[in-house]
Amino acid sequence: MCEPKAIIVCENVSSYERVYSGGRRDKLKRIVDLYPTVINNENLEVELAQICEAEYIFSTWGMPKWDEEIILKFPHLKAVFYAAGSVQSFARPFLNSGVRVMSAWAANAVPVAEYTQSQVQLALNGFFHHLQFTKSPETFMKAKELSAFPGCFDVEVSLLGAGMIGRMVIERCQELNLKVLVYDPFMTEQEAQDLNVEKVELEEAFERGFVVSNHLANLPETVELIKARYLNLMPRGATFINTGRGATIEEQKMAEVFAQRPDLVGLLDVTISEPPKPGNKLYALPNVFLTPHIAGSLGQEVWRMADYAITAAEKFMKTGQMDYDVTLEMLVSMA
């Protein structure tokens, strides 16, 4: 029996080589007849005659957006296995053409959830507040004057968004015996009950959460959904974490709140422009900590995404069942 034909489609060859390293490319070659050339928009027409019988596409960051006209040139194509997170930029034409799409979003969610958990723990102990004042003996104890920090027990923490990442963070917060409040317009009361969380409105999430962590998807409906006035409602000494998307926040107005409220801390791993443009007010604020989008798969963590894609492909080829597949309906609310 012939092995199924597969191609790698990726505009960035280095991304493919990095994600599918550590023996992953060899494993892939053992389960499919893998075309040796990485396909992109530049060489597609040249290679088309050799690859048009492909049944499977494997990709990662750098997957091009193909329209239905291009996809029709692959009449045997059954599925795309994407070893990365969001598929918003390319999935719809494939799904409209009857091609299944698998995303390793669950694998990419793991390091984000781990990163968020660590920041929540540090925030509840006042770590980021104290960093601002421990540069001299004179200011060493000043942070304690700002607020009493509650520690990691029986404290209300608010999560915005209860998708894959949000649910992983819920589990980790509950392991710390924290009370989890969730704002998610797509979550039902029954789902909240099943997750043992309290569903709240957006304003209440900021009023009550000593830490508020943003995991909302970047959708037209969520652009600037988080108003600066909500941050001004946060308890004294509270921390706002954003590992979601910068576009969901009124960024410059948020900067003004942090300037007026030195008792608050902002931990911003994402901003509207990455990096923020020169002159952005966020650079000058001592209570805002900017990081360059590191709450995700880094280093060898990217191998986990390839593992998920390859494992899902093996199962699909054997059983026809798809793990972590994306549907058109899911694209309405997912990142």
The CATH number covering residue 152 comes to 3.40.50.720
Q: Are residues 81 and 195 in the same domain?
A: no
Q: What is the pTM of this model?
A: 0.86
Can you tell me the mean pLDDT for 83-106?
95
Sheet holding 179-183, edge to edge: 198-199, 179-183, 156-160, 211-214, 239-242, 265-268, 288-290
Q: For the chain, how many structural domains are there in total? A: 2
Q: Are residues 216 and 324 in the same domain?
A: no
Domain assignment of residue 40, yes or no: yes
Domain that holds residue 37: 5-106+299-332
Can you tell me the mean pLDDT for 169-186?
96
pLDDT tier at 146, thresholds 50, 70, 90: low
Sheet holding 56-59, edge to edge: 33-34, 5-8, 56-59, 79-82, 100-103, 325-326
- What pLDDT shows up at residue 143? 58
pLDDT above 90 coverage of the chain, percent? 84
Can you tell me the mean pLDDT for 190-202?
97
pLDDT tier at 238, thresholds 50, 70, 90: very high
Residue 117 has pLDDT above 70, yes or no: yes
Dihedral of CA 152/157/160/163: which sign?
A: positive
Residue 211 DSSP code: E
Q: Are residues 277 and 314 in the same domain?
A: no
